[in-house]
Chains A and B, each alone.
Chain A
């Protein structure tokens, strides 16, 4: 099947339309968190998640997470069709418990980081990242 340029354009627009609709991936997000924490409560603090307020390009959004003393950090994109981004494990010789990567976001959504600390407790941080088709400048 051959797409003309115009049809391709509209396929692209369709994708934007889909992205703008709220996709209830929440259940699988909570499942993923429960699997990581074993159902333990998550605290806040001790974990820093850095994301842009508005993504400059939803296809490659820089994300940095740092949790001193963590043995493992899981990263989730709550609004993606598949929310799993990855889990970073830190060995005892790791100089710092910090990771940065770039992720693809299907639309405006929360990016969530859960850190497993050496004492077995869990810390959670979450930031909303907006993905927009852009506006106009002053």
Chain B
């Protein structure tokens, strides 16, 4: 008797070897040193159901550069396994040739040079072309948006998410779940969600007062496609009130709520669901663990941690499909559902090379209409960069080095703290920095750049606390995101130690002296989750700094010593 897990493993092997999913093809494309739209979209339609997944767009409607991380450490059972291998190791693991399109799209290394060859990625008009092509093969394919959609750009901020709602509606999604959307504040979220022509899902979105499921966000939605009854269950980001300002959406409580997830899966199976899909904003490692606890989910479409993998990962009897971020990728997953069981799948992570995939004219027009009122502000040049500016990495990124420098100089501080978020596109050396570029890495509804004093002891507590939210060996205690970035402060971190013992050798970089637990230090930072934080918005602080510099250049950042 062949077990279901054997079936899925056979599917996985077939998809990697035969390359019907295109991953095998990528290496061949690399040899040709050129891509075509047909090659990127090539897919032998399989089974009877197609899922299309896009997630963590962060309001990037037009093509961008986005460098994947070179440092992404896994802990516990996730040490050394995807997505926690990077750069050349990642390429070896998947057989990706150096210098190939896959190298550029999926891994770090030689980014600036490869960006010159392969150009920008993403753009929702190109995404529309991909979706249309899949719908041409399978007209009733389900389009599912994993959230972090209504946040992250100048126009998204100034329209309070309306620009992204309008553009996404033009793509006709079938369902969505949420994270940063809630930082628009609950009133605005209610307004936007009530107007959506598709399902707004979250089995873990609860009413905070009564600890009951929130009425506005149903846990699941049924779809009948290809004669198959499919239940899509939403899973919003579990730690919103901790990682983001809970006072902006006090009516809501979240959490992983895996027990409730199991009840919901059982409920939809009892109602005849032949296929159960979880549209998740848990983050990859949390999804992997959840799949071992909750039984009966066929596919988890995984968002939040911005990982892009060329193949699904099998956890228990569930396949997990992480689809990257910022509009760089669209996942297509075809499923063969027979007799209420998933008997096989075919998958392709489609990279959106903006110069290769033709923009869809209708969606391009919608995007243009949203941007037109802000054209002058978006295109205003505020400086140049000689550096590769990027954000992803566990401990620092050059964008955050620049932001920390700005906080230190413009706010006259000894130490700067910048949040370890994973959104924000990259820039390559020689580019003009426009206001749009600056807002792409700073835009948020709680941008106040505070200036305060903290004792050395309290600074250590902050670092320990954030480190445990990232490196706790139990994924259910990880919030995603990266280490808080520090300016003017160096430290040593031992990843495998328990909370309270990871951080040592804290040093004030300006003097080279050890941090004194009892002394007060002047600290500037931004994105505080506390209500009533005061200060100028971070984009003004960084703009003033860039204007003072003219052309941005940075010192290499060696301030964090990592011990594995």
Q: Within the complex, which residue of B148, B242, B453 is in contact with A56, where a contact is CB–CB below 8 Å? A: B242
A135 at the interface (CB under 8 A from B): yes
Nearest CB on A from B52, distance (A): 22
Question: Are A132 and B242 in contact, with the CB atoms below 8 A?
Answer: yes
A134-B529, A137-B243, A138-B306 in contact; A56/B481 too (CB < 8 A)?
no
Q: In the assembled complex, how far is the CB of residue A39 from the closest CB belonging to chain B, in whole angstroms?
A: 32
CB atoms of B458 and A135 under 8 A apart: no
Contact A16 B243 (CB under 8 A): no
Known contacts A20-B500, A136-B466, A138-B423; A130/B243 CB under 8 A: no
Point out the residues of chain B lying under 8 angstroms from A56, CB to CB: 208, 239, 241-242, 246, 253-255
Distance of A6 Cα from B454 Cα, bound (Å) = 11
Contact yes or no, A136 B484, CB < 8 A: yes
> 8 Å CB contacts to A: which residues of B449-503?
452-455, 457-458, 461-462, 464-466, 468-470, 476-477, 479-482, 484, 499-500
Contact string against A for B residues 247-280, beta-carbon threshold 8 Å, 1 for contact and 0 otherwise: 0000001111001000000000000000000000
Residues of chain B within 8 A (CB-CB) of A100 are 211
How distant is the Cα of A132 from the Cα of B478 in the complex, in angstroms? 11
B179 located at the interface, meaning its Cβ lies under 8 Å from any Cβ of chain A in the complex: yes
The 8 Å CB contact of A52, one of B237, B255, B479, B529, is B255
The closest CB in chain B to the CB of A48 belongs to B259
Stretch with Cβ within 8 A of A (4 or more), from B111-119, B186-194, B403-411, B414-422: B414-422
Residues A53 and B529 in contact in the complex (CB < 8 Å), given A130-B477, A137-B179: no
Contact of B242 with A135 in the complex, beta carbons under 8 Å:
yes
| A116-138 interface code vs B (CB 8 A; 1 in, 0 out) | 00000000000000101111111
- Select B479's contact among A9, A13, A108, A135, beta carbons within 8 Å: A135
B469 near A132: Cβ-Cβ < 8 Å = yes
Q: What count of chain A residues pass the 8 Å CB interface test?
A: 23
Q: How far is the CA of A20 from the CA of B517 in the complex (A)?
A: 15
Alpha-carbon distance between A56 and B209 when the two chains are bound, in angstroms: 13
Q: Are A13 and B454 in contact (CB under 8 A)?
A: yes
A134 to B453, CA, bound (A): 19
Count of chain B residues near A, Cβ 8 A: 53
Q: Indicate whether B304 reaches chain A with its CB closer than 8 angstroms.
A: yes
Question: B277-288: contact bitstring with A at CB < 8 Å (1 yes, 0 no)?
Answer: 000000100000
A1-26 contacts to B (CB < 8 Å) = 6, 9, 13, 16-17, 20
B250 (CB) vs chain A CBs: closest residue: A57
Q: CB of B180 within 8 A of chain A? A: yes
With A54-B239, A57-B241 as given contacts, are A136 and B419 in contact (CB-CB < 8 Å)? yes
Q: How far, in whole Å, are A52 and B208 apart by their CA atoms in the complex?
A: 13
* In contact, A136 and B243 (Cβ under 8 angstroms): yes
Interface string of A94-116 (1 = CB under 8 A from B): 00000010000000100000000
Give every chain B residue within 8 A of A137 (Cβ-Cβ): 179-180, 237, 239-240, 243-244, 421, 479-481
Partner among A9, A53, A138 whose Cβ is within 8 Å of the Cβ of B477: A53
Give Cα distance in the complex from A133 to B208, angstroms.
19
Kindly state the separation between the CA atoms of A128 and B211 in the bound complex, as whole angstroms.
20
Task: Tell me the nearest residue of chain A to B520, going by C-beta.
Answer: A10
Q: Is the CB of B241 within 8 A of A138?
A: no
Give the distance in Å from the alpha carbon of A53 to the alpha carbon of B241 in the complex. 13
Are B304 and A138 interface neighbours, CB within 8 A?
A: yes
**Is A50 positioned at the interface, with any CB of B under 8 Å from its CB?**
yes
B-binding residues in A (CB < 8 A): 6, 9, 13, 16-17, 20, 50, 52-54, 56-57, 62, 100, 108, 130, 132-138
- Ranked 8 nearest A-B pairs via Cβ: A136-B419, A137-B243, A135-B469, A138-B480, A56-B241, A138-B422, A136-B481, A136-B420
Give 25 A-B contacts (CB < 8 Å), ordered by A residue: A13-B455, A16-B461, A17-B458, A20-B461, A20-B465, A53-B255, A53-B256, A53-B476, A54-B255, A56-B208, A56-B254, A57-B246, A62-B211, A133-B465, A134-B242, A135-B420, A135-B466, A135-B470, A136-B419, A136-B421, A136-B482, A137-B179, A137-B180, A137-B244, A138-B56
- 13 additional A-B pairs beyond A20-B465, A136-B479, beta carbons within 8 Å, are A16-B458, A20-B500, A56-B208, A56-B253, A108-B499, A134-B243, A135-B243, A135-B470, A136-B419, A136-B421, A137-B243, A137-B479, A138-B481
Q: Taking beta carbons and an 8 Å cutoff, which residues of B are in contact with A?
A: 56, 148, 179-180, 208, 211, 237, 239-244, 246, 253-256, 259, 283, 304-306, 419-423, 452-455, 457-458, 461-462, 464-466, 468-470, 476-477, 479-482, 484, 499-500, 527, 529
